[in-house]
Structure 1
């Protein structure tokens, strides 16, 4: 089975899920895009997220807020905005997003985290690019702190492109491609609905990111269209000390996502070509960090295998070289210093050589 036929087979396999949804995104009389805001105990931020959508001035877009059983005053803050909202029993982001899908009808969906915001004109820019062949559109975000002060440039740095087959090959080879956090992605509805089968995790930005190239075109924009808030309650789990728990969780989630993706691709004949977790760069990188976080000795063979995967990864030569130096340096440092430099790398802030040096020699 050729790749082209396999891709069309996957498209037809899920087409029935969204067959009653109009895909004329430039037509009138029906919503073009749904923004689903999911909130859990973000009373300090959720109003900013909602108002950033309302300020877009797009009456052809749906907005619904799902409060995932908040125990603070998030629900009161949401109700004050007057938008359509639902308060549900706490079940995690994935199920909150599924409820949002049930309450909307637009052919494209943006899941906006309650502590993030859209920049002015974001939805107009997004809608200009969408058509029925687009499975996902992505754009970078600017990091801001809890007080809305900008902390960095576009994250991740993205280029402008419309691509499909190149990303299909990348996912098959590595299980990954560069993609923004949740709030920087717009999915076609039939792609979104595949999170229904992702019962192994609470988050939403998992398998649908990586199945999207198999279901249609990926549009990437270089211009930041949103703000990603960095604060002490982000769900990354990374803090002032290197914690093995979120690293283990990330590695396990990656394994489950690959197996879920493989089960979807098996129906097209491509499943056997998908990389296994133990030969994927992302998984080996997390395993390297996890070993150090657990104060285990990393062997030279493990380091060399990680570097061999790094140099087949679609990074620029400059990034590959800098990461090679980073891994080699971490390998040679004492356990405590190695933990500090890895934790520095994993934090959501701008990084620099000087910052890395400070992390090494910090007492």
Structure 2
């Protein structure tokens, strides 16, 4: 591993001027204590959930945490619900999550930012645990989330299960695979300069992309093992979790991964890692999604492509037992009739509670 990595937070004087908001809820006057953390909640037509997201932050009464809600042109009454909470809020024309988050970024001041989805929530005491682990050398902090259904019922334990650590050990993993185990958007806190990388991610409407994988090159990653938030699984998740098997979503994942890797390559080269980042089409994530797409569209799985996928899988950082289970799934899925293979894959990609028995029943 070569090159050096900048540890300190930095301002971005070249950032574009913030977009004008169409309307604003003023919210409470800022406290005299400089905020250490900004929670930016972005909302698009989540009137049934956004109140809970906002109050999960407000109820923790942290004067060193500023809260800003950005309504991304909702048409379902979300803006009125947001106003009833008394939170400081801005309303902009609909432009997608990334643009809404950047709008919030430009209207907050703290050195660290948590982008909380409007259908998710933070758990009591989470802000205290987060802020206690932040300093200038931290580029990203992550923590698991518990899954809940549309009615707020908890349906899983901590996801993903994370080891507690601090450091830059993820650099090598990103270079070799392009990814690492990371929570959804609401389980991550980023230093402000890392967030500014979103300005160059025009290919993406979401924010759980390049900044996740660039962060290890820009400072320490702090990983906490205790769950500090709740991730809601329902039929409107942008990831497609909780919905029927969707080949369009899988194609989008593939395009997004290739575009993100091109952006990431530009970033890591500035830190002295030119040529060390894996080619996207050779990465396990790409090959896995390509396998899923073939199953979803009823394509025949060639022996050559299956062997290539399994070879790359066994170079991954997963435990041997996990690799063995995944290998069995790939082999079984590739041999089953198309409809049964699709059922098994849909079960595997479902964000709800899963088990080996449930997978077997789905395949049969």
In the superposition, the TM-score normalised over structure 1's length comes to 0.93
Moved more, 347-356 or 130-139: 347-356
Q: Distance in 2 between matches of 1:353 and 1:131?
A: 42
Q: 1:33-60 deviations in whole A, cap 9, x for unaligned?
A: 0000000000000000000000111011
Q: Are residue 90 (structure 1) and residue 91 (structure 2) matched?
A: no
Q: Distance in 2 between matches of 1:299 and 1:354?
A: 27
Q: Equivalents in 2 of 1:295, 1:238: separation in Å?
A: 20
Aligned to 2:23: none
Change in CA separation of 1:18 and 1:186 when aligned onto 2, cut-off 3 Å: farther
Q: Which of 5, 8, 12 is 1:7 aligned to?
A: 5
Q: Does residue 35 of structure 1 match 2:48?
A: no
Q: Do 1:6 and 1:270's aligned partners in 2 also have CA atoms closer than 8 Å?
A: no
In 2, the alpha carbon distance for the partners of 1:338 and 1:67 equals 40
CA apart distance, 1:89: 0.3
User: Could you tell me which of 125, 135, 138 is aligned with 1:134?
Assistant: 138
SS in 1 for 2:306: helix
Residues 222-241 of structure 1 mapped to structure 2, 5 A cutoff: 222-238=225-241, 241=244
Is the counterpart of residue 156 in structure 1 residue 151 in structure 2? Answer: no
Does 2:305 correspond to 1:307?
no
Q: Distance between the aligned counterparts of 1:105 and 1:65, measured in 2? A: 14
**Per-residue deviation at 1:261?**
0.4
Q: Which residue of 2 aligns with 1:113?
A: 117
- 3-state secondary structure, aligned to 1:109: strand
Q: Secondary structure at the match of 1:231?
A: coil
- 1:298 is displaced (CA, Å) by 1.0
The answer on whether the counterparts of 2:284 and 2:313 sit within 8 Å (CA) in structure 1 is yes
Report the structure, 1 or 2, having the larger helix content.
1
TM-score by length of 2: 0.92
CA distance in 1, matches of 2:242, 2:337: 20
Deviation at 1:91, TM superposition (A): 0.2
Q: Indicate the SS of the match to 2:275.
A: helix
Q: Distance in 1 between matches of 2:4 and 2:344?
A: 43
- Distance in 1, Cα, partners of 2:76 & 2:363: 39
**Partners of 1:209 and 1:241 in 2: how far apart?**
27
Does the 8 Å contact 2:234/2:241 carry over to 1? no
Take 1:285 and 1:154, find their aligned partners in 2: how far apart are those partners? 24
Instruction: Report the counterpart of residue 68 of structure 1 in structure 2.
Output: 72
Give the CA deviation at 1:236. Answer: 1.8
Q: Which moved more, 1:94-103 or 1:349-358?
A: 349-358
1:293 aligns with 2:288: no
1:18–1:189 contact (8 Å) kept in structure 2: no
Tell me the matched-pair count: 347
* Alignment partners' CA distance in 2, 1:122 and 1:257: 30
User: Does the aligned pair in 1 maintain the 2:97–2:207 contact within 8 Å?
Assistant: yes
1:239 & 1:187 partners in 2: Cα distance? 27
RMSD across aligned positions (CA): 1.5
1:282 pairs with 2:285: yes
SS at match of 1:268: coil
Aligned residue in 2 for 1:47: 51
Q: Distance in 2 between matches of 1:360 and 1:222?
A: 33
